[in-house]
Amino acid sequence: MSLLTILTLVAVALVVLVLVVYLVGIAYYLWRADRHLAKLVGGLRAIQGNARPLPEHLSTINGAFKALREDLSGTRRHLEGVSRVLEE
């Protein structure tokens, strides 16, 4: 074998080795990302389960706020009447 053939084979081996190292690194980080995404999906499913009863509670709270608003608007009208009486 000539020197050029050996140098070419060494260069090809180095290029292949570098590619293997980079591809293994990419595979490792993709595997880690997959694990983190799996944990994230689990957390999002838990949040979804915890948020499921919110519409029922919010409709109850909105009804209570509506009743409070009506009571407070009545109080506001009474206070406006008191204010007019005191101004006279």
Q: What is the pLDDT of residues 13-62, one digit of tens each?
A: 999 999 999 999 999 999 999 999 999 999 999 999 888 888 888 888 99
Number of compact structural domains in the chain = 2
Q: Are residues 85 and 59 in the same domain?
A: yes
Q: Are residues 62 and 43 in the same domain?
A: no
Q: Alpha-carbon torsion 63, 67, 70, 73, what sign?
A: negative
Q: Residue written as tokens 């000539």?
A: 2
Q: Are residues 48 and 58 in the same domain?
A: no
Q: Are residues 45 and 63 in the same domain?
A: no
Look at the pTM and tell me if it is higher than 0.75. no
Task: Tell me the residue range of the domain where 35 lies.
Answer: 1-52
Angle at alpha carbon of residue 25, lines to 21 and 26, rounded to 5°: 120
User: CA-to-CA distance for 85 and 88, rounded, in angstroms?
Assistant: 5
Q: Are residues 46 and 7 in the same domain?
A: yes
